[in-house]
Amino acid sequence: MRRSILGFDRVLVLLLGLLLILVGVAAVGWQTGFLESLWPEVPDEVAVDSGQVTGSSSFAALAGIVGGALVVIGLWWLLAHLPRRSVGSLRLPSGAQPGRLLVDPGPAVATAAEVLAEDPMIRSAKGAVLADRGELVVRLRATVDPDVDLGAVVDACDGVLADLAQVLPTDQLRSRVELSVLRRGAVGPRVS
């Protein structure tokens, strides 16, 4: 889905959710008298025979319940459409045995980041699995000194990603390595 359509969808969902919440709060506020303090011209009652509309004379209680339900539905609607970047379990390719194998990618990526951080050229490393633009991405963030050999750092990152590819299903994942270079003044002795 294109970004413009996603943006339009999110704005529309936000407005619809806020409208549901507003209508629900207004219905509850009208029955409790709170709406009258905000809008003095609000009618005290609606010229509708509630017995004909609802089949009973408990229109006020029914309006309050419907208003409360609309507030809950509006909040649920908004929370259901919040973007989530976390990733659940991944399905492993089937083997000789019947069944379904799942793997949680988080611990494997965290271990890969720890292995990368053990390299003497790398100051620190963190890893995560994200859902980014419809694809699952393994993101490794590493911090290096300014005088380190960049080719050797790239080789170390490639080695860690190759080891990670032995554990996780590579057909479902992409990888991204982000390198941060420390400033000259921030360089100090590394404690192992």
- Domains parsed from the chain with CATH numbers: 3-80 (no CATH), 90-186 (3.30.70.1350)
Q: How far apart are the first and last CA of the chain?
A: 46
Q: pLDDT tens-digit profile of 150-162?
A: 889 999 999 998 9
Mean pLDDT of 158-170: 84
The token pair at 20 is: 């549901």
Q: Strand, helix or coil at 96?
A: coil
| Torsion sign over Cα 163, 167, 169, 172 | negative
The CA-CA-CA angle for residues 166, 192, 117, to 5°, reads 30
Q: Of 30 and 142, which is predicted with more confidence? A: 142
Asked if the model's pLDDT at residue 4 lies above 80, the reply is: no
The CA-CA-CA angle for residues 172, 176, 178, to 5°, reads 160
pLDDT band at 88 (very low <50, low <70, confident <90, very high): low
Asked if the model's pLDDT at residue 186 lies above 70, the reply is: no
Q: pLDDT tens-digit profile of 30-75?
A: 777 777 777 677 666 655 555 565 566 676 777 788 888 888 887 8
Q: Of 147 and 97, which is predicted with more confidence? A: 147
> What angle do helix axes 105-117 and 150-165 make, rounded to 10 degrees?
150
Mean pLDDT, the chain, integer: 77
Q: What one-character-per-residue DSSP string does 114-149 give?
A: HHHHTSTTEEEEEEEEEEETTEEEEEEEEEE-TTS-
Q: What is the predicted pLDDT for the residue at 57?
A: 65
Q: Strand, helix or coil at 164?
A: helix
In the structure, how many helices (H) and strands (E) does the chain have?
6, 5
